[in-house]
Chain A
Amino acid sequence: MQTDSMKTDGMTRGKSFYFFGFLILVAFDTVVQLSFKYAGNHAFPPEANWAWIVRVFGHPWIYLAVIGYVGNFFTWMTLLKHAPIGPAFAVTHLEVVSVMLFSVWLFQEPLTWPKVIGAAVIVLGIICLAFAESGAHPEGDAPTEAKAALGVAAGS
């Protein structure tokens, strides 16, 4: 249940709180995925044995991924205190777009049409799921500024 203090909190925090909160969340998610890729590359080739696990943990990337995970967790918990689950859910999955763009830059991966179209369709689906979550728990919805934050983050 929402208390008056929560409502006041939501209002004083306003749009920039959600915008930067969600931005930090996407940033942490992106760092985690990029670190996983670097960790995998350094431990290449993958094998179902102890030697491979030792190689994975023998480079700093895996630890950066863990730090990103922890940062992600605390950002998520802080945001969920004030934001409704639906938009929050959507934003955490928008990392597919940021990771894709960073992959093109850092790993020189080709940005092909199937990837662009596939990503666009996935993001549309995620936005549907986000609105479905918001509708499913109307009593848990935070003030409208969180929805505005979704609009900003999704670029709609």
Chain B
Amino acid sequence: MSPLVVTLWLLNVTLDTVGQLSFKAAASDPAAGDGLARWRYMASRPWIWVGLISYVAEFLVWIAFLSLIDLSEGVLLGSINIVVVMIAGRILFREKLTPLRVTGILLVTAGVAIVGIAGAG
């Protein structure tokens, strides 16, 4: 994998994490209310826009990434997003990390590492 591929991969994980956490922040704001008012409130706050812009950028970064690497390898390496989002959720929203979750996180990371190391060699 070239430095450009690694950069695009890291950029994709970062944008995905920022996007998902922003949507989470927008959706879980207790001051938002209900129904149409909730959507109006969310639109008046920055988080939903940060999320949308991150997703559009992520979309383009992902296409660029996939055009430089085998698709089968790309989707496997992309699985790291699940792990990073979960850990970031734990840090920012104090979501629980149960033993089963930790096992899942370690297995997904190990799988990505196997594919990544083989791809680099």
Q: State the A residues within 8 Å of B (CB).
A: 33-34, 36-37, 39-41, 43-46, 52-53, 56, 62, 93, 95-96, 99-100, 103-104, 107, 109-112, 114-115, 117-129, 131-132, 135-136
Asked if A126 and B82 make an inter-chain contact with CB atoms under 8 angstroms apart, the answer reads yes
Determine the chain B residues whose CB is within 8 A of the CB of A39 once the complex forms: 63
CA gap between A45 and B2 in the complex, in Å? 14
Chain B interface residue count, Cβ-Cβ cutoff 8 angstroms: 39
Asked if B76 and A40 make an inter-chain contact with CB atoms under 8 angstroms apart, the answer reads no
Determine the chain B residues whose CB is within 8 A of the CB of A124 once the complex forms: 107, 111
Asked if A107 and B105 make an inter-chain contact with CB atoms under 8 angstroms apart, the answer reads no
| Given A115-B115, A122-B76, A125-B103: 15 more A-B contacts, CB < 8 Å | A33-B66, A37-B66, A39-B63, A40-B63, A40-B65, A40-B67, A41-B67, A46-B64, A103-B72, A115-B118, A118-B115, A125-B105, A128-B103, A129-B105, A136-B96
Determine the chain B residues whose CB is within 8 A of the CB of A107 once the complex forms: 70-71
Determine the chain B residues whose CB is within 8 A of the CB of A126 once the complex forms: 79, 82, 104, 108
Asked if B63 and A132 make an inter-chain contact with CB atoms under 8 angstroms apart, the answer reads no
Q: A93-B79, A125-B104 are in contact. Are A118 and B63 (CB under 8 A)?
A: no
Out of A40, A99, A128, which one reaches B64, CB within 8 Å?
Answer: A40
